[in-house]
Amino acid sequence: MREAVIVDAVRTPVGKRGGVLAVWHPTDLLAHTMRTLVDRAGVDPTRIADVIAGCVLQYGEQAGNLARWAALGAGLPEHVPATTLDRQCGSGQQAVHFAAQAVRCGDYDFAIGAGVESMSRVDLGPLFNPADGLGPWYGTRALARYNGTLCAQGPSADLVARKWGLTRDELDGYSAESHRRAHAATESGAFARQLVPVTADGAPDTEPITRDEGIRAGIDPAKMAALKPVFAEDGLITAGNASQISDGAAAVLIADRAAADAAGLQPKAVIRATAVAADDPILQFTAILPAARQALEKAGLAIGDIDRIEVNEAFAPIPLIFAKEFGVDRDRLNTNGGSIAIGHPLGSTGARLLTDLVYALELAQARYGLLVVCEGGGMANATVIERL
């Protein structure tokens, strides 16, 4: 039976909106990331069967199937096709899943799953500004089905926090710890090997960026507590306990295990299971629970078997409800911080988190990792990997 393995994975440092990566056209940023991946992995580019890239805000500079133009910009052979997908915040993870599925069924021997988002250069619109109202993509039938109760993700995060009885202090405390862990990981060099050498001005002779821009070395609890709720006067979600609006890219080389071995490559991990699930589109974030359960069942594992767990920190309630439902202690969950501290460039986050998980297992000499990413509309993806 064919196995899909992760040969290598890389990601850019994450830049704040309007920050160090704002100068980069998103297609060029993805191209640079994929070129780094191919060169580092040592794969013959002519053997890459497809490039699959996630991107959420697909208009302006991110329209027109940017994956194809990024592949050409990366110098990949013209015969290598590419496609761009949108599974909301899990787009980069879904890109890897599609690549792995094609490898396992025998259609591909090598493929790239990737993701990119420039939230500096592409307007966020109603996706992130509740004052703009709901976006135009729902259609009348979906709106009618839910009797006008559909809402943007921020208000949904408030609903989830209330349903699970989470307090503002819990959300803020979790968020401060995300920054502390991300800062510690940065200082220890935990991210160093996964970072693409990218510069703030795009010039190759400039000193590369070596840190994620949004991480804070110290969080003042009083200042965090003083932040006003964003989505309702009595809400729990603030700018401090939500993910940062950011820029970034990530790319993962997926291969058939036998093909990688024959090519003299040394894979880092094998993908043991993938899953996608959907749940209540009003609460939006609860699908992480069935998605994780499905992936664990497919892998023949229990949550206690998993050494490192990544649950995307779109908002602080998400990893907290996961920890409550699965009885997971914080020693295994988001050990290097997450999107609250590092940032959340939508289309790239799933691939970035998978990259971090691969290297976290490697550094800890641990065996199993689980990645779960919540997605707009009440969906979620889950991936189980095993370090090789």
Residues known to be catalytic: 89, 344, 374
Q: Which amino acid is at 375?
A: E
Q: What backbone torsions phi and psi does residue 169 show, to the nearest 5 degrees?
A: -60, -40
271 Cβ partners below 8 Å, 6+ apart? 3, 4, 5, 6, 96, 100, 254, 383, 384, 385
- Neighbour tally for 101: CB within 10 Å: 16
Q: With H, G, I as helix, E, B as strand and everything else as coil, classify residue 387.
A: strand
Instruction: Return phi, psi of residue 306, to 5°.
Output: -85, 125
Residue 84's beta-bridge partner residues?
Answer: 53
Give kind and range of the element (H or E) at residue 371: strand 368-375
Q: Which amino acid is residue 70, in one-letter code?
A: A
**Is residue 110 within 8 Å of 34, Cβ to Cβ?**
no
Name which of 186, 194, 28, 192 is nearest 116 in CA terms: 28
CA neighbor of 245 nearest in space, from 77, 384, 125: 125
